[in-house]
Amino acid sequence: MKLSDLKQAYPPVSAEGHAQFMRTLSGLKEEEPVRKKLTLSLALALVLVLALAATAIALVATYSVKDKIDPKFADQVTEINEKYENDYLTLSINDALASAKSLFVAMNMAPKEGADPVFVFPIVTAESKGQQLDVDIESGYEVYDGVWLPERTENLEGKGNFSLDLAIMEDLMPGAQDDITWTITFHVLKPNWPVEEDPHTSKGYFDRETITEEAHKQLFLDAYKNKKILLTYGDTTVEYGAYLPTPEGITDEDFIMMRQWERLVRSGAFNEVDRVSRSFVTPKGERKDFADEKQSFDFADYTLQVDKVSLTPLEMEARFTVTAKHKNVLEKNEVLYFEAKTEDGTIISTGSGLSFGKSGQDTEPMAFIGLYDTKPLKELPDEITFVPYIKKSTPTAPGQNPTTEITYQPENSFTVKVGQ
């Protein structure tokens, strides 16, 4: 067996493993020739054991949603373990935490040693009882915008680790009626032209002191003209793709609506060298919804109509139509929020609010869409109480955060019943 074969079979031992081996080796006695021979054999055995241990650690160190979620949801994680490899990469879809309205999935992707760089775009679709679902990405945009293998920038989740956080939208299509079949399609692209990095975004933001927006745009137009691929922020093709010319035989509107990966291929800058899809099924899970079709409340300054309240063990969505009774219900620096409480008094956090129109639209109906975190709850409640409050931000000295004043409106509290 060649030395290169041995290295491939038994990867280098970690620094901790090497130190342990040296401590063991230094403690062995060498009093007799026979013992020396035994010592050498034992030392080789130790090297083999440690190498195998390192290999085992590498094999089991897959990224998991369990690394990110509350341990109480561990028994609800769906094991997937779908794997694939080609001449350029290895990938695995490891596991997922899903509800009737969302998916959080963990994956690993790594380049093959010595392979040419590729750019990978995962696209997710879903269906339930044969009905296509409307899937929208919540986080993981950098993955949806393409992943370079080898990675070109630091991966905050860890080298080779990737996740997607997706929501099922129900505005245009119905939600999940049963178990959900998810499909992730990986589009593997290979660059045809030299890849360069834009220096004006190398700090993680667009440096306006070094170039104007118009001149910056021209860089991408020139790059394409000269058959080069120009990346922003070290690894992103979003800006490059935005300035690609429309190919012949395609309307501008159709080209704009294309997925990023297809725009790059149609431009000639990349070739799609592989495409693979993997599917898996997750259970629908528990869900409760606002029981009535409509429910309205009349308060001193505004009226409120409950359009939707939907809960799963992971999140709650609330939608209201709020109409001001007169102008200037809210000042320019004020925002109306709705805090949510369950029957046991637990507060569900929210980051959403609304402000009434400021250009003669003050009395027009305004839509409130609030997304709340239900993971801290022990169980899904039968009713939710919403408490309106106004958050007022007052500017302070330049460079300092504004001061915030919160005023609750307990007199405007209202309760919504939810059921299965």
Q: Pick the closest to residue 78 from 110, 102, 59 (CA basis).
A: 102
Please state the rounded mean pLDDT for residues 174-178: 92
Calculate ∠ Cα 124-78-141, nearest 5°: 30
Domains of the chain by residue range? 3-60, 65-192+272-282, 195-268, 288-419
Residue with tokens 């300054």: 301
- Closest to 340 measured CA to CA, from 366, 310, 367, 365: 310
Residue found under tokens 């409480």: 341
CATH of 288-419, one of 3.40.47.10, 3.40.50.300, 2.40.390.10, 2.60.40.1640: 2.60.40.1640
Q: Which residues pair with 296 in a beta bridge?
A: 305
For 359-382, the DSSP string reads SS-TTS-EEEEEEEE-TT-SS--S
Q: What share of the chain is helix, strand, coil (3-state, %, to 5)?
A: 25, 40, 40
What is the average pLDDT across 391-415? Answer: 87
Mean pLDDT across 253-279: 96
CB 118 within 8 A of CB 88: yes
Q: How far is CA 109 from CA 151, 159, 346, 359, in A?
A: 10, 9, 40, 50
Query: For 259-395, where are the E strands, in sequence order?
Result: 270-282, 288-290, 295-298, 302-311, 315-324, 334-341, 347-348, 366-373, 383-394
Which pLDDT value is given to residue 182? 97
pLDDT digits (tens, 9 = 90+) for 188-208: 999 999 999 999 999 999 999
Residue 141 has pLDDT above 80, yes or no: no
Mean pLDDT of the chain: 84
pLDDT at 362 over 70: no
Confidence band for 148, pLDDT divided at 50, 70 and 90: very high
pLDDT band at 345 (very low <50, low <70, confident <90, very high): confident
Of the ranges 198-202, 207-211, 348-352, which one carries the lowest mean pLDDT score? Answer: 348-352
pLDDT at position 292: 74
Per-residue confidence (pLDDT) for residue 273, from 0 to 100: 98
Is 115 a residue whose pLDDT tops 80? yes
Q: Which of 25-39, 109-123, 190-204, 358-372 has the lowest mean pLDDT?
A: 25-39
Say how far apart CA 46 and CA 351 lie, in whole Å: 55
Give yes or no on whether 65-192+272-282 and 288-419 have one common fold: yes
Given this model, what pLDDT does residue 357 score? 58
Write the burial class of residue 252 (CB in 10 Å: 0-12 exposed, 13-18 middle, 19+ buried): exposed
User: Model pTM?
Assistant: 0.78
* Nearest-angstrom CA–CA distance, 318 and 258: 31
Give pLDDT, residue 396. 76
The pLDDT assigned to 52 comes to 40
Mean pLDDT value across residues 72-95: 96
What's the rounded Cα separation, in Å, for the pair 190 and 420?
Answer: 48
pLDDT band at 85; cut points 50, 70, 90: very high
Determine which of 132-141, 262-271, 272-281 has the lowest per-residue pLDDT on average: 132-141
Question: Binning pLDDT at 50, 70 and 90, where does residue 294 land?
Answer: confident
Res 26 pLDDT > 50: no
pLDDT of residue 62: 86
* Nearest Cα to Cα of residue 339 among 232, 231, 415, 229: 415
* DSSP 8-state code for residue 160: T
Whether residue 55 is predicted with pLDDT greater than 80 in this model: the reply is no
As a whole number, mean pLDDT of residues 178-194 equals: 97
Mean pLDDT of 89-115: 96
Quick one: pLDDT band at residue 351, thresholds 50, 70, 90?
Answer: confident
Nearest to 408 by CA among 389, 391, 385, 387: 389
Binning pLDDT at 50, 70 and 90, where does residue 293 land? confident
Q: Looking at domain 65-192+272-282, what is its CATH homologous superfamily?
A: bacillus anthracis domain (2.60.40.1630)
Q: What is the mean pLDDT of residues 336-354?
A: 88
Closest CA relative to residue 384, chosen from 300, 287, 276, 311? 311
| Residue 278, strand partner residues | 184
Cα Rg for the chain, rounded, in angstroms? 28
Tokens (6 digits) for 47 = 């090297």
pLDDT of residue 260: 95
Question: Residue written as tokens 């409760």?
Answer: 288
35-47 per-position pLDDT tens digit: 333 344 444 444 4
The mean pLDDT value for 9-19 works out to: 39
Phi, psi for residue 215 in degrees, rounded to 5? -65, -35
Looking at the predicted structure, is the pLDDT value of residue 222 above 90?
yes
